Structure 1
Amino acid sequence: MQKRILGGTNYEVSVVGLGGIPIQRVDKSTAVDIIREALNQGMNFIDTARGYTISEELIGQGLQIVGREKFILATKSMVRTYEGMLEEVKTSLQNLKTEYIDLYQLHNVRTMEDFKFVMSEEGALRALKELKEQGIIGEIGISSHGVEVLEAAIDSGEFATIQFPYNAVERQGEPLFEKAKKKNIGVIIMKPLAGGAIRNGEQAIRFILENSNVSVVIPGIDSVEQVVENAKPGIDELPLTSEDREKLEAEATSLGTQFCRRCGYCAPCTIGIDIPNNFIFDSYYTRYNLQEWATNRFKSLSPWAKDCTECGECEKRCPYDLPIINMLKEVASHYDF
């Protein structure tokens, strides 16, 4: 597995790491198998978060068996206050069954108002800086879906890493990554498959790794098979062919910009609609000519798109500012039951 230095840290990270969002869906045995195979494939970087339900706990159990010292471990929290962050780190240490965390990140800082608060005397950054001085965390990072926020984070000089979505569809971060590289700040790439919307994962990851400003890409993984598949672009270093590029560009064009990345931040729906799955199933209906398959899946959902009460809570939480209510109406219009 190729390795790159993570910005100004001393961490030499595998160019493909383990994204911890979907691991919350598996059992302990599978989690251990995933982490063991990640090590076998040369991955040494794991990224998770307090917000990913039991992801930290499962990874912690896996690291106990496979070996904590073999990985550079990153997690993050959406808590914004000083006191709250001290408690969050304590919980992360317990969940991950470790005495230290290599990289702790401010998670999904959405607005400049949020950014200014976390940077204030009462904000979460002060807690992380104190914990770094104590040797409890190694480095401090920040994740966001907003370019403006990460521009400010880079300029502040307070962060060793930034984390941002990047793939063949979403390329708005490229100037940001160049700026980060010049300031010796590590660049962690989330959503490399646009939340699963891009179907050819191997080519999607190769596209990202061609950008020398990127430090590590963290595709979400919930099976041993996915570990092997996602590791391959980081091992064999094959460049994209012209045919590969044409396929990726065609897929990116077909997706446009208004699509769900399956981040799950819209949840919970006030009446229990599984919003991401509604969009996923409908993509098979509209883009992949699998109408019968999608229709059968929709019949198993309750409640589903047509039951939306238009309360708007999901739209407030969506980091991409998607018009979820109208998108659910569009989904419902495709079916006559």
Structure 2
Amino acid sequence: MEYRELGRTGYRVSLVGFGGIPIQRIDGAEAKKVVGRALELGINFFDTARGYTDSEEKLGVALKEHRDKVIIATKSMARDREGMAADIEKSLQALGVDCIDLYQMHNIKDEETLEKVLKPDGALAALKEARDQGKIKHIGVTGHVKELLIKVVKTGEVETVQFPFNAVETNGVRELLDLATETGVGAIVMKPLAGGALSNANFALRYLLEYPVSTLIPGMDSVRQVEENAAVGSNPLPLSAAEREELQREVASLGMQFCRRCEYCLPCQQGIDIPSVFLFEGYYTRYGLKEWAVERYRALKAKPEDCLECGECEERCPYNLPIRRMLKEAAQKLG
């Protein structure tokens, strides 16, 4: 595994890190097995969040015996000082550690949120206090809106910035990366595979490593995924002209209106597994696995027809997808 500097934090992080969203789907024993394989292959950066149900707990158990060899990052959606302080304590307990390496203000999605976290009684204040108290070491920010992240980086208060970047989503990335490089802020890339929409992980990850990013954090919940992704970090060759052309063909076929499987839309009050519906639709539409996709769609306990049209999922979606309409379209194909 090769490593790069994480901005001015002083950490050297694996080119491929570990995204902690998917391990919510597997049990503790399997999670320990997956994380163990990641460690064996040199992955040393592990990202999770307060909002990822039991992800912090599972990572904490799996990393307990390797604490001095890994960098643990987590994050909170809390916007004020009190809420962030409480979440930091919960994260410390869930992870089973005395200090967290990187704590991030999560999903800064609009100007109102930005104003709240930066206020004297905002989330940033709690993070700075926790750093002074030795509860966390470094402060970062995550979000999907590059313009807002640029504003946060320019404050000089954060040491890392985490954002979606992949062969499909490139708008605003160059300006953000240039600023991060100039200011010594580590660039952490989430959604490197466009939420699993890009089928060739090897090409997709190698494409990103041609940029001045610190680490990529694809979500992983199987040993096979870990091995495939870690292999790229161990030998990050530039894409050939033919490989680049193949990647761009897939990008062109995707467009921009598709689910990245970030799961921010969940939970659905009707129990609809929204990302899975769109995953099966993708297999049906793009990969020619119609029978397989339909079979798995039929096994879902709740389906799009159970939707109450409440719109909560659309309010939470960082990509502003018309989820209700997309669910109906998926049901027409799969039902």
TM-score (norm 1): 0.96
Q: What is residue 103 of structure 2 aligned with on the other side?
A: 104
Q: CA deviation at 1:132?
A: 0.8
Shifted more, 241-250 versus 25-34: the winner is 25-34
Q: What is residue 209 of structure 1 aligned with on the other side?
A: 209
Q: CA deviation at 1:179?
A: 1.5
Q: What is residue 234 of structure 1 aligned with on the other side?
A: 233
Alignment of 1:242-253 (within 5 A): 242-253=241-252
Write the distance in 2 (CA, Å) between the matches of 1:288 and 1:155.
Answer: 42
Write the distance in 2 (CA, Å) between the matches of 1:68 and 1:111.
Answer: 35
Q: What is residue 133 of structure 1 aligned with on the other side?
A: 132
Q: CA deviation at 1:246?
A: 1.2
Secondary structure in structure 1 of the residue aligned to 2:302: coil
What letter corresponds to residue 12 of structure 2 in structure 1?
A: E
Q: Deviations over 1:176-205 (max 9, x none)?
A: 112211111110000011001011111111
Alignment of 1:1-337 (within 5 A): 1-65=1-65, 67-172=66-171, 173-211=173-211, 213-335=212-334, 337=335
Secondary structure in structure 2 of the residue aligned to 1:232: helix
Q: Deviations over 1:148-168 (max 9, x none)?
A: 210111111110000000111
- Coordinate RMSD, CA, aligned: 1.2
Q: 1:9·1:139 contact (CA, 8 Å) conserved in 2?
A: yes
Secondary structure in structure 2 of the residue aligned to 1:194: coil
Q: CA deviation at 1:42?
A: 1.2
Q: Could you list the runs of 4 or more consecutive aligned residues of structure 1 that deviate by over 6 angstroms after TM superposition?
A: none
Secondary structure in structure 2 of the residue aligned to 1:195: coil
What letter corresponds to residue 310 of structure 2 in structure 1?
A: C
Q: CA deviation at 1:8?
A: 1.2
Write the distance in 2 (CA, Å) between the matches of 1:271 and 1:33.
Answer: 33
Q: CA deviation at 1:122?
A: 1.6
Write the distance in 2 (CA, Å) between the matches of 1:293 and 1:100.
Answer: 45
What letter corresponds to residue 146 of structure 1 in structure 2?
A: V
What letter corresponds to residue 262 of structure 1 in structure 2?
A: R
What letter corresponds to residue 140 of structure 1 in structure 2?
A: I
Write the distance in 2 (CA, Å) between the matches of 1:268 and 1:47.
Answer: 21
Q: CA deviation at 1:313?
A: 1.1
Q: 1:140·1:161 contact (CA, 8 Å) conserved in 2?
A: yes
Percent identical pairs in the alignment equals 52
TM-score (norm 2): 0.97
Q: 1:112·1:148 contact (CA, 8 Å) conserved in 2?
A: no
What letter corresponds to residue 186 of structure 2 in structure 1?
A: G
Write the distance in 2 (CA, Å) between the matches of 1:296 and 1:180.
Answer: 46
Q: CA deviation at 1:333?
A: 2.2
Write the distance in 2 (CA, Å) between the matches of 1:287 and 1:227.
Answer: 24
Q: CA deviation at 1:303?
A: 2.3
Secondary structure in structure 2 of the residue aligned to 1:314: helix
- The alignment covers a number of residue pairs equal to 334
What letter corresponds to residue 191 of structure 2 in structure 1?
A: K
What letter corresponds to residue 239 of structure 1 in structure 2?
A: P
Secondary structure in structure 2 of the residue aligned to 1:196: coil
Q: Deviations over 1:41-77 (max 9, x none)?
A: 1111111111111000001101123x11110111001
